[in-house]
Chains A and B, each alone.
Chain A
Amino acid sequence: MQNEKITYISAKNKWFRFNFKELWEYRDLILLFVKRNITTSYKQTILGPVWIVINPLLSTVVFTVIFNVIAGVSTDGIPPFLFYMSGNVLWGFFSSCLGKGSSTFLSNARLFGKVYFPRLAQPIADMMCSFINYLIQMTVYVILVVVFALLTPSVQPNLYLFLVPVLVLQTGLLGMGTGLVISSVTTKYRDLNFLVSFGVSLWMYITPVVYPVSRIPGYLRPVMMINPVAPIVEIYRHAFLGCGSFELFYWLISLAVTVLVLFFGILVFNKVEKNFIDTV
């Protein structure tokens, strides 16, 4: 009946010792965190989960008015509302993964200071919450795409749609990975905390969310597309709406960056979690 497994704790903590098995044993905890976040975040609100959909719809309306109607940025012949919504929904998912990931240590310091569980459970749960929000938003988006596709010939969903699950997973992991790196540094230096909030909105402007890649001048394009989120957003939009293009080269770079960032993120997170409570 008794568990005989021996756990060793030593002063040296190795850079490359991940305990993924233990993380798996705590999968129920991850699910409960997700459930907790979802059931509690809209307590005592009138509209409740409807807010999940209202947020991107409202900002899409604002984008449409500002960038299309006022600034006159072209949308490659796609209905502007749909064009902005596509970028908005995916970017929203990315920035939410990044934001929550980057505050993992600071916002959970109290909990982490009192009980042990694999710390990675927290950002993973946060990412899954963001994913569920994203799914709801995407449902609305897909409905819009279908409606527009029937009405407007320029909207052409295509076979690249099969790449969408990969793109979404990549977005989540890239966001979380970046968040983990930032969270590991913010335990000691709070500077980055300030950077994150406005850095994310700046990042959005260097990503083709509110403008098509075709509008980027040729000489700038290689630089802009190094940004790992740029190809994802572009391919995502290409798959649903048929605008823009699929450029394998940039996407491969983006995939490689994602893997690197995630690996590095988990690495430093793993290193920092052992002692962060002493410096937070």
Chain B
Amino acid sequence: MDKNCVIKTEHLQKEYKLGVIGSGTLRADLQSWFAKKRGLEDPNRRIGSKQYEKGELFLALDDFNIDIYRGERVGIIGANGAGKSTLLKLLSRITSPTNGNIAYRGRIASMLEVGTGFHAELTGRENIYLNGAILGMNRAEVDKKIDEIIAFSECEQFIDTPVKRYSSGMFVKLAFSVAAHLDAEIMIMDEVLAVGDMKFQKKCISKMRELAVDHNRTVLYVSHNMSTIQDLCTRCVVLDHGKKVYDGDVDEAIKLYMGGDNDEFFSYEYTDDKHKNPVRRHDLNLTNVKYNGRTTNLFYDNEQMSLELAWENLADIPSLSLRLEVQDSRRMPVTSYLIEDFYSGKKGETHSQKFTFDISKLASGRYTVRYVFFNKRDESLPYEDIEDAAGLAFRRHMSETNKRPWNRAWGSVRLGNLLKLDK
């Protein structure tokens, strides 16, 4: 193992059996085993189910290889069931791999759940010792850190109260504080910050960053919150169905994970089977969409967007309104464009409508769009029948000559210059 490598996995694989594991009772398992021995049919097989076959195995993690180096802060993202938690469980030795090897250097402190091992009846202080010990710290180490832990947790006032009286926020704070002050070389966090308030989340992220930068700790962080991933991580792994599909730059990884099917399209045909989420309302069916007269979704400088939507009416439409919701690469809403009462039509008609919208105030970068059709009725009533379709993404670039400095962290909308007032 390389000297700076702290975690190395080789061909890591974890298999789970689908369905009921065993029948749960010894008698039934013996019966099945005996029947199989004699070449008879399994008496405990559910009627209609196929004979046992290999296909019943499920690979939660498949041939996963990674080298993680000292001081790296690695984010792991992926949809539910992609294998993130399985990976963390294997690394933290909660279960062992079906195949492959893991080697790691130093100690791992894992926090797969908030406040594991906290005992409701014990006070905050007692729980710090208990939790510290569960995470592998001995008494002397906790003694050294206890003041720091209590201060970080912001729970000084309640530290000698049983934790069953704590609010869930305080609970997380205390639990995180213990984990953050471990002397472990590797820290593993599974979406645990979500419960704390914004301020505390920020504090935790900067604490983890500080640990990595100043103390050369390595952090593995799983989250569905892309902003925290972007804030914290220096490297990002995307998992999909147990396989590593991307490993590298954080922004690229988030883009890959977040990006829909129509990432690079400049026109799109909505068909029910191909598209994840077309607009199909009771009265309208979006059929296709395109950026007029273009062969790319890249727009430069102050170009006007020319968008054409086509749909067919499934019912009479007295009044139709449309909202274009624009989101940035993290799927944070940026702005929306609105048009109200722009169309009415009869059942069975098809219609194609051109729109234009101004993106000159958007910072350069990649944006995704959703189309939301709605009927605007009486002002006092809420909008009805809103449904959205993933629309065409667009990228806005500045040509070299027009490049003014702008950092994406400053925001996605450039509203203009600050004006100086002369008294």
Q: Which residues of A contact B (CB under 8 A)?
A: 2-11, 13, 25-26, 28-29, 32-33, 36, 39-40, 43, 110-117, 188-192, 274-275, 277-279
- A26 lies within 8 A of B25 (CB): no
- A113 lies within 8 A of B94 (CB): yes
Q: Per DSSP, are chain B's interface residues mostly helix, strand or loop, or mixed?
A: loop
In the docked arrangement, what's the CA distance between A212 and B380, Å? 89
In the complex formed, the residue of B with least CB distance to A191 is B26
Chain B proximity of A150: nearest CB distance (Å): 43
Chain B residues closer than 8 Å to A191, beta-carbon distance: 25-27
In the docked arrangement, what's the CA distance between A10 and B89, Å? 14
- A8 lies within 8 A of B102 (CB): yes
Q: Decide yes or no whether B98 CB sits under 8 A from chain A.
A: yes
- A116 lies within 8 A of B110 (CB): yes
In the docked arrangement, what's the CA distance between A34 and B92, Å? 24
Chain B residues closer than 8 Å to A25, beta-carbon distance: 136, 138
In the docked arrangement, what's the CA distance between A110 and B115, Å? 12
7 cross-chain pairs, A with B, having the tightest CB-CB distances, nearest first = A29-B133, A116-B93, A9-B102, A114-B116, A189-B26, A3-B106, A274-B96
**Stretch from B16-24, B364-372, B401-409 contacting the other chain:** B16-24
Within 71-96 of B, Cβ neighbours of A (below 8 Å) are at 89-90, 92-96
- A274 lies within 8 A of B107 (CB): no
In the docked arrangement, what's the CA distance between A272 and B136, Å? 22
| Pick from A6, A36, A189, A275: contact of B95, CB under 8 Å | A275
In the docked arrangement, what's the CA distance between A199 and B25, Å? 18
| Pick from A7, A36, A275: contact of B130, CB under 8 Å | A36
- A5 lies within 8 A of B29 (CB): no
- A36 lies within 8 A of B136 (CB): no
- Give the A-B pair count, Cβ closer than 8 A: 119
Number of interface residues of B (CB under 8 A): 49
Q: Decide yes or no whether B345 CB sits under 8 A from chain A.
A: no
Known interface pairs A4-B106, A28-B133, A188-B22. Does A274 touch B101 (Cβ–Cβ under 8 Å)? no
Chain B residues closer than 8 Å to A113, beta-carbon distance: 94
- A115 lies within 8 A of B110 (CB): yes
- A115 lies within 8 A of B117 (CB): yes
Known interface pairs A32-B129, A115-B135. Does A40 touch B119 (Cβ–Cβ under 8 Å)? yes
Chain A proximity of B67: nearest CB distance (Å): 14
Chain B proximity of A123: nearest CB distance (Å): 16
Chain A residues closer than 8 Å to B107, beta-carbon distance: 3, 5
| Pick from A5, A10, A279: contact of B101, CB under 8 Å | A10
Q: Decide yes or no whether B381 CB sits under 8 A from chain A.
A: no
Within 163-201 of B, Cβ neighbours of A (below 8 Å) are at 183, 185
- A277 lies within 8 A of B134 (CB): no
Chain A proximity of B218: nearest CB distance (Å): 10
